[in-house]
Structure formats: structure tokens, C-alpha cells
Amino acid sequence: MNDPGQVALEALAAEVGRRLLQSGERLTTAESCTGGWLGQCITAVAGSSRWFDRGFITYSNEAKTELLGVSGDTLASHGAVSETTAAAMALGALARSPADWAIAITGIAGPDGGTTEKPVGTVCFAWVRADAQVFTATHHFQGDRRAVRAQSVAHALRELVPRVGHCSA
């Protein structure tokens, strides 16, 4: 997958916004490796205040614990880059927001930091609805740091689109 351009990312964010408006729902985000890029794409959409509540940038493990309530045990057992941690981040964001949906992203964008088990480009996601439906995924993206981060933002938005309005409340 190629690095999606900013215009394409903002178009995905706008589509998410249309779906959320149609269903009367709001979104919150919890980001680590994307460092707020997801929130930036969302807030670049005019009128996003009608469907976007807030975003958490929790780059460090301490921030994940302090701001989102991710337990130290989760981080110690699964690591910051895991579907379990992504789900805990999303659930923590929802607990601290009146939003209906949360997206969480945590990963290794590079160029360093990867391991054999979790190479550079490994990114974990969670999409959580306020009724506690939790969807998680792990993807391995190719490219440099910017490409991994851009693909992560695109994937997070793209995967939310079909879920909004199609889950039971």
C-alpha cells in the first residue's frame, strides 16, 4: 500500500464524519505512533465539531496509563504495541468522553524500535463502540516512518466507515 496523501486522508475523515452525522454519533481518538495525525485529519474537515469530541495523544506508556487508564499489567504482559493495549486505549478514551465510538492506534513507525516479533511497521488498532463492541486488528505496513503513519491513519478511518450505523446500540 502506498503512502496516502493528506487530501485522501481528509476525504476518508469526511466520509467518517458523514456516517457519524447520519447515525447521530460522535467519535473520540487515542493515538500513539500517529502522534495526533488522525485527529488532525478529522479536524481538517469543516464542521467536524458536530461529530468529533476529543483526541488523546498518549505516546508514552505513562501517558497511556495516566490519561486512558491502561493498566501497567496490560503494558507489561502484552506491550504497548498489541491489540490488547489498543483496545484498552479505546475503552479508556470512551470512558473519558461522551462519544459513541473510539479509535485507538499504537505501533512501531520506525525507523528503529522493532523486534523480531514486532518489526517496524507493526501497528495495532481498536475500534470500540460505547455498547462495548470491540474490534481489533494488527497490520504490518511497509515504507518509511511517514508512510507507516499515513497508512495507519488511513486504515483506522477506512475500517470505521462500514461499522458506523451498522452495530446495535
Q: Tell me which CATH code domain 6-160 carries.
A: 3.90.950.20
Q: What local confidence, expressed as pLDDT, does residue 2 receive?
A: 64
Higher-confidence position of 121 and 168: 121
Q: What is the pLDDT of residues 96-150, one digit of tens each?
A: 999 999 999 999 999 999 999 999 999 999 999 998 799 999 999 999 999 999 9
H-type helices in the chain, by residue range? 6-23, 37-43, 61-68, 72-78, 83-95, 145-160
Q: What is the mean pLDDT of residues 14-43?
A: 98
Domain ranges of the chain: 6-160
Q: What is the pLDDT of residues 42-68, one digit of tens each?
A: 999 999 999 999 999 999 999 999 999
Burial of residue 50, with CB atoms counted within 10 A of its CB: 0-12 exposed, 13-18 middle, 19 or more buried: exposed
User: Is the pLDDT reported for residue 89 higher than 60?
Assistant: yes
Task: Say how far apart CA 89 and CA 96 lie, in whole Å.
Answer: 11
User: Is the pLDDT reported for residue 18 higher than 60?
Assistant: yes
User: Is the pLDDT reported for residue 168 higher than 50?
Assistant: no
